Structure 1
Amino acid sequence: MTAPTSSGTATAPSGGALALLEEWLAQLGAVRGASQKTLIAYRRDVATYLRFLADHWGGPAGSAALARVSTSDIRAWMAHERSRGLSARSVARALSAVRSFHAWLAEARGLIAPAVTATRGPRVKPRLPRPVAPDAAKALIATVGAQSLEPWVAARDIAVVTLLYGCGLRISEALSLRQGVAPLGDMLKVRGKGGRERLVPVLPVAAAAVESYRRLMPFPPDPSAPLFRGVRGGELNQRHVQQMMANARMQLGLPPTATPHALRHSFATHLLEAGGDLRTIQELLGHATLATTQVYTGVDQARLMEVYAAAHPKAH
């Protein structure tokens, strides 16, 4: 490749490269069902990468040139991103998007760039979950319920947060529930990531919270309608749950890590501390691997090996 331009004027990627980017994004949305949020992030990261290549090469980054991207090109791009103030985690995320784009180029257009997949991303320290203490979880639920003057809205918010903590649900899982699941029994079928279904036990307090909300909800019953409704009757937005938790933790003086997802961590951690089996907790959370559950619960390697030995006694 040619040396980087020294003119200081940014060079735009070619229309062909940008057209390929849009075609890839359209395929991700239509065929793979990528969310709008994911598509926006991918467009931003890959467009930034294409602009860098055009400037780095001193000429338009055409579609054919994308098959000749070298290891030094990729490393220069990552160094440039870090110089802009991006964290190692953000650069690693952007590299993942770029790799996905190149994988599609190789499959759909025969534009194979081995250097892209061979280049290692920056090392990223795993973010360890920070569960909230049981007393803090209860205080969060109570505080969330005191944020709205509308009784049914307060009951709804209590029910949502109680399910997150009491059943270890993701926000998306709780908000995707339909009215047909209520009244909740001892077990609840949940569809999680990858379409995997699992059964989770329902604590009486969670079932009672959902029933209190249903009695006050002003909308007519409809088994196919969302269980948790917004004020206009549609499905409750995830952003509302995140905001009400943010308001509650500020009132209680809790750290920013006390998020809705932290309640899921808390569910797992508190079960483990009460003597729960790690394999069972893995199933309740819907994790594909035990390693993910280990991170969720902060289990050390020695405890993990104990669980493995119990599950695979013939290996020892």
Structure 2
Amino acid sequence: MACENQTFNSGFILLGIFSNSPTHIFLFSLVLGIFTVAFTGNVVMVLLIYLDNQLHTSMYFLLSQLSLMDLMLICTTVPKMAFNYLSGKKSISLAGCGVQIFLYVSLLGAECFLLAAMAYDRYVAICHPLRYSVLMSQKICGLMAGSSWILGSLDGTVEVAVALSFSYCRAWDIPHFFCDVPALLTLSCTNTLLFEKMIFICCVIMLLFPVAVIIASYVRVIVAVIHMASEEGRRKAFATCSSHLIVVGMYYGAAMFIYMRPTSDRSHTQDKMVSVFYTILTPMLNPLIYSLRNKEVARAFMKLSRKGKSGKQITR
């Protein structure tokens, strides 16, 4: 097959995941519903944590950053997918593809490190409660969140620069609903083995290193919780930590499945289904998991709702 690096003058075609069959129309409507819930849930979480003074703690600051990342992640893929499906136009420009790659890789990487920071926060809160205000001060918490954003952006910059430097064959049909690096590599005319190894090394750093921090933190947490004298204290600690562990399990499991397999072992169908999980479903589930299992978030929501109702009554 002839190969030319003409993508700079044209672009790619996103094949998507939906057709015009009744089943796929229903599934597309379902995805839009999930997007709406995810968008609303994460916006509400960010606003609650920002507006409620009692939630101005390190744990909730990190949680607000997670919600912000999830909000940006779902807005990176779903609106373009919906526009292409509804308009019948499947093309995406080179610039648009590069922006998508940069944003979702950066956000995925940033979430990896942020989840590790959240695990460390729980470790300090449970194992060193008297030193919590020192070990998780506003400055340290800000540095953790800022470092997560910076490290994720560095990963995104490297991957988009290398991925778009390859020559691609004339068939520029990406078997995906967004510009995903593994799907893009299957179209390359050049040997991408070195880049695949680089992605694997990045995944070891971006995924396995934070996982090691999370495991080490929660081993210490579990030991400390088991030795707690208070039954109420154990219950509260397990409730808080279990929410975070559920999110970690969903997120890291899907990310490792996508990015730590060689191209030869990939199935486009499997990759698309798993991508739907971590780019659409997970951003919806995160705020639900944290809000439904957290009394302080529920209290803040009820307080904000009462203020809203009072404001409407006054205006009337």
Whether these two folds match at TM > 0.5 is no
Structure 1 length normalisation: TM-score?
Answer: 0.25
Larger Rg: 1
Bigger relative contact order, structure 1 or 2 (CA pairs below 8 A, ≥6 apart)? 2
Structure 2 length normalisation: TM-score?
Answer: 0.25
Please identify which structure carries the higher helix content: 2
